[in-house]
Structure 1
Amino acid sequence: MTFNALLARKTGDTIATDIVTLEEHDLMPGDVTVAVAFSTVNYKDALALSGRSPVIRSFPLIPGIDLAGVVETSNYPGIAPGDRVLVNGHGLSQTHHGGYAQKASVPGEWLVKVPDAFSARDAMAIGTAGYTAMLSVLALEHGGLTPDSGDILVTGANGGAGSIAIALLSGLGYRVVASTGRLEESAYLKELGAAEVIDRHTLSAPGAPIAKERWAGAIDSVGSHTLANVLAQIRYRGVVAAFGLAQGADLPGSVLPFILRNVTLAGIDSVNAPLAARQHAWARLATDLEPGKLARTTQVIGLAQVPAIAAQVLEGRVQGRTVVDVNA
């Protein structure tokens, strides 16, 4: 049987994509075959398609770091035909064909069963961004934070992970402060649950190594000077969960927040997280994320629209989450 896919090829330093028709023998090795229904466009996907970061390590390759669908065939224990499954990260869009296709063959240990509370579309409206947001919330909780601890800052608030982080935190009772470069979209952030919206430029320039205490914790997707300033303003025994580098991969800060205020910086990796951590995060998403808020963060596109949307993601012009209907 044939299936459609968005295939990335590289010539020199240029990455080009085309919608192609492939056959099952074109799939990569895996003990589970999935009829893919939906994928997503994340910041990492945008980096991969642009070539700005060497996400894709071998060409040609089907991009897409997320997928959700129904199992067609399985030789993996505990996974059976008909199961609704998802994959976030692992080798997708790096060394293994990803989610921008109507079919995938993957190792069974990469799969998480879609919680009953979600459709496949819902699962991809959450995707790596929302799953990463949940891992970040869990890190704040692990560090001892509760809603009574004080305000939680979310940087990159208009992005996919930021939007879902706001929805999760506000639903759990936290007072959330959203940092964004698009203040004109403050109403959207407040609909998700932000109590206050601040201009990202107040955090993005070089700052003092330690400053007035403002937030009990933070979820940061920006890195660089922003993360350094966030750490400098975290309250005593506060926690910061960091997973992004939209501003940069550097951290031009100081040890002072760590040794004077006992601040914890928790790194969040969603790509290689163990299965138990993934399952726990998805179980919490099923109970803690309000469906109405998820719907407000989401737009749906077809495969052919992925490159254009990816470019907009890099330009900071996409609000919330983008779901890819691979059959559209």
Structure 2
Amino acid sequence: MFKAVVIEKNDQGYRSSLQELDDSQLPEGDVTVKVSHSTLNYKDGLAITGKGPVVRKFPMVPGIDLVGEVEESSHPDYKVGDLVLLNGWGVGEGHWGGLAQKARVKGDWLVPLPSKFTPAQAMSIGTAGYTAMLCVLALERQGVKPEDGEILVTGAAGGVGSVAISLLSHLGYQVVAATGRPDDADYLKSLGAVDIIERSQLSEPGKPLAKERWAGAVDVVGSHTLANVCASTRYRGVVTACGLAGGMDFPSTVAPFILRGVTLVGIDSVMCPREERLEAWQRLAKDLDITKLEAISQEVALSEAIPMAEKLLKGEVRGRLVVDVNA
């Protein structure tokens, strides 16, 4: 038997609860992982509360991240005792995820846990930090250099934003953080932000083109914020888009792209090819200051995951939420 958060939908409605399950109930897969830690991401919050159409079949164990030890394996790359982690691939949506003490998954979805990180540290990074690294890699591939100018990070106090600021500042970029929580200014500066702007400067409808400022950007908000970021990006600047906390719409014009040559790069962390995942985790091991992880994250027990999901969606959580599934 093992404990898990389970989401159910039936004639009585939609509900999430902590349950005890039997190993025989685990889904198909060629690797069984004894999970040590998972996380709570925005998508998990939507799944647990039912406030977004995330879950595709029921019952579902949420949790788009997990880390742990291989318990059983018929996959050629993994043996019993290996430490592995998983981000995305639809777990927690269409396949049982990481908010449980056990998970059975496809071995092709796993990557080895980098030796630099403990399991808890890996989940302090999680999908959010891995996505932030994908954004940084995209900026680098598009030729954005530290000397080119300021890099904007929106949703800065969240998981993606926190890790992105830490990474970019470590690499020598001048990072400006946009946040709706002015009380987090000291926290953001401790991660490496050189300036803080109020998110309201970006969240209202704006002009097709604004004054040029950003050499690059990491946006997790979407909607008017992303449109305004593009409108104020400098000639040949690069904007990476990886989230929709402000909405799925993109009320922009072609002006930034055809008049300033701005590049908008979409970042998908869910189905990202394994080679790019491995590169991202290798770079995280190299370029992320692990001393910052304690400030970025807080740890909660599996029994706290459901109430914390509500707080996460209300914007009451700073940084990363790591779930100790055995606490």
| Category of TM-score, reference length = shorter chain | over 0.9
Give yes or no for contact 2:16–2:49 (8 Å, CA) kept in 1.
no
Which string of whole-angstrom CA distances, capped at 9 and with x for unpartnered residues, describes residues 139-196 of structure 1? 1001100111110000000100100000000010000000000011100000000000
- Looking at structure 1, the residues matched to 90 and 243 of structure 2 have their Cα atoms a distance apart, in angstroms, of 19
TM-score normalized by the length of structure 1: 0.98
- Looking at structure 2, the residues matched to 46 and 56 of structure 1 have their Cα atoms a distance apart, in angstroms, of 11
- Looking at structure 1, the residues matched to 57 and 203 of structure 2 have their Cα atoms a distance apart, in angstroms, of 35
- Cα shift at 1:292: 1.1
Give yes or no for contact 1:15–1:49 (8 Å, CA) kept in 2.
no
- Looking at structure 2, the residues matched to 251 and 20 of structure 1 have their Cα atoms a distance apart, in angstroms, of 40
Give yes or no for contact 2:167–2:287 (8 Å, CA) kept in 1.
yes
Amino-acid identity (%): 56
- Looking at structure 2, the residues matched to 194 and 301 of structure 1 have their Cα atoms a distance apart, in angstroms, of 27
Correspondence for 1:61: 60
Give yes or no for contact 2:4–2:20 (8 Å, CA) kept in 1.
yes
The two structures, once aligned, show a CA RMSD in angstroms of 0.9
Q: Secondary structure at the match of 1:240?
A: strand
Which string of whole-angstrom CA distances, capped at 9 and with x for unpartnered residues, describes residues 186-226 of structure 1? 00000000000000000000000011101100000000000
Once superposed, which parts of structure 1, at least 4 consecutive aligned residues long, lie more than 4 Å away?
none
Q: Secondary structure at the match of 1:71?
A: strand
The 5-angstrom pairing of residues 15-54 of structure 1 reads 15-54=14-53
Correspondence for 2:248: 249
Of 234-243 and 50-59, deviating more is 50-59
Verify: 1:89 aligned to 2:88, yes or no: yes
Which string of whole-angstrom CA distances, capped at 9 and with x for unpartnered residues, describes residues 14-43 of structure 1? 431221111111100000010000000001
- Looking at structure 1, the residues matched to 13 and 111 of structure 2 have their Cα atoms a distance apart, in angstroms, of 34
- Cα shift at 1:120: 0.7
Give yes or no for contact 1:13–1:51 (8 Å, CA) kept in 2.
no
In structure 2, relative to structure 1, the CA distance for the partners of 1:188 and 1:12 (3 Å cut) is farther
Equivalent residue letter for 1:234: T
TM-score normalized by the length of structure 2: 0.99
Correspondence for 2:215: 216
Q: Secondary structure at the match of 1:82?
A: coil
- Looking at structure 2, the residues matched to 12 and 199 of structure 1 have their Cα atoms a distance apart, in angstroms, of 44
Give yes or no for contact 1:7–1:17 (8 Å, CA) kept in 2.
yes
Correspondence for 2:275: 276
- Looking at structure 1, the residues matched to 22 and 73 of structure 2 have their Cα atoms a distance apart, in angstroms, of 18
- Looking at structure 2, the residues matched to 109 and 102 of structure 1 have their Cα atoms a distance apart, in angstroms, of 20
- Cα shift at 1:69: 0.1
Can you give the 5+ residue segments of structure 2 that lack an aligned partner in the other structure? none
Q: Secondary structure at the match of 1:129?
A: helix
Q: Secondary structure at the match of 1:178?
A: strand
Correspondence for 2:136: 137
Correspondence for 2:177: 178
Verify: 1:9 aligned to 2:5, yes or no: no
- Looking at structure 1, the residues matched to 264 and 147 of structure 2 have their Cα atoms a distance apart, in angstroms, of 20
Equivalent residue letter for 2:300: I
Can you give the 5+ residue segments of structure 1 that lack an aligned partner in the other structure? none
Correspondence for 2:315: 316
